[in-house]
Structure 1
Amino acid sequence: MKRLVSTLALAGLSLAPELALAHPGHGNGAFASGLLHPLTGADHLAAMLLVGLGAAVFLKRSGWVLPLAFLGGLTFGFVTGTWLPGSAAEAGIMASLVVLGLAAAFQVRTPAAIAAFLVAAFGYAHGASHGIEMPHDASPALFAGGFLATSALLHFGGYALARVLPNPALRLIGAGSAGFGLVLAGIS
């Protein structure tokens, strides 16, 4: 565990030079903007944690498939999804919270191929949203690199939560996330 914490701390410190560039007059800070983007929306944050949680709980040995599918969908959505209306991307994001949340709440067991397809589709919606919301002066490659790095860390965070929290807590997180998705759907 100490080694894991040290590795994460070192990874975080390695990002400090780019974070310093995020200030005016020092470049456009696209990487830092990308790093922060998934953390600025509770919907993105919850979905990415749920993907990691699902990887640990539902797929066990092939759990790595879910984060990779999400990251692949995220990248594809970012590159091609800007033509997607923002409302469609938001609907996909809300659906991701509801479906992933219910899967966690009810401990749904799904074949890896079906789970990967659904998670990739949800990743596509999140990626399209990132593309739509990207700052106009940002480098797309740097922005994408930032949000992909944060997304991967959030997947790992969900995976770690699934390893330390008791099953009732994981079910509660799932139910809460699904409820949050339904509330967002009602607001939109």
Structure 2
Amino acid sequence: MRQSLKSGLLALIAAAIPAAAYAHPAIGEAAGFSHGFAHPMTGLDHVLAMVMVGVLAFQLGGRATWLLPATFVLVMAFGGALGMAGVNVPFVEIGIALSVIVLGAVVALNIKAPVAAAMAVVGLFAVFHGHAHGAEMPENAAGITYAVGFMMATAILHMAGLALGFAIGRGGERSGFLATRLAGGFATIAGVGILTGLI
């Protein structure tokens, strides 16, 4: 039980460390694929939301294990296109912070939502994350390679969340449930900190 709890928390912390060390990369600091790949990886808000999508997908199981991550990545690409085109989407930063709070709470409470409803929620939040990525694309970056970069990084973070869910689940029903609640609770508290500007 202790080993499972420890493994799950260490995986979540390891995923969040790069984000805690950096905010978003500066515009013009890199271009194309490398900048696009770095953007989701270097924001605590993005990392936590993506990992929680993966954990939620694992919790729901079945088709959700691939439908939720796929929905997020595809809708995020649409949001990214809006950001690159300069189309205004209101409350982007608030939406991103709320995504961390809501997804963390859903994971912590082990809410078994219908897959369609979970896809709708994940898709809504994906628009905000995608818009942030697209709007912060440096002028000297190629749009296609930049988009491929942030989509690939997001998919990797989703896989990290699925792996975290699997690692937690191996610890047994009781210890796994506790570890999941702690991971989701950590994300929710961090999301509140991001929303209020404390983080």
TM above 0.5: yes
Partner of 1:107: 110
Q: Whose RCO is larger (CA < 8 A, sep 6+)?
A: 2
Partner of 2:134: 131
| Corresponding pairs, count | 160
Partner of 1:79: 81
TM-score (norm 1): 0.80
TM-score (norm 2): 0.76
2: distance between equivalents of 1:130 and 1:62? 25
Q: Aligned-residue CA RMSD in angstroms? A: 1.5
**8 Å contact kept, 1:105–1:175:** yes
Residue 84 of structure 1 and its aligned partner are, at CA, apart by 2.4
**8 Å contact kept, 2:31–2:140:** no
2: distance between equivalents of 1:74 and 1:178? 21
**8 Å contact kept, 1:59–1:112:** no
Name segments (4+ residues, structure 1) moved above 6 Å.
none
| 1:120-147 CA-partner distances (Å, limit 9, x unpaired) | 1111100000011111211111100001
| 1:10-31 CA-partner distances (Å, limit 9, x unpaired) | xxxxxxxxxxxxxxxxxx6410
1: distance between equivalents of 2:47 and 2:64? 23
Partner of 1:148: 151
Q: Secondary structure at the match of 1:63?
A: helix
Partner of 1:4: none
Structure 2: gaps spanning 5 or more residues: 1-29, 169-175
| 1:71-120 CA-partner distances (Å, limit 9, x unpaired) | 111101001244225x6111110110011000011001101111001101
Structure 1: gaps spanning 5 or more residues: 1-27
2: distance between equivalents of 1:90 and 1:112? 26
Look up the equivalent residue of 1:144 and give its one-letter code. A
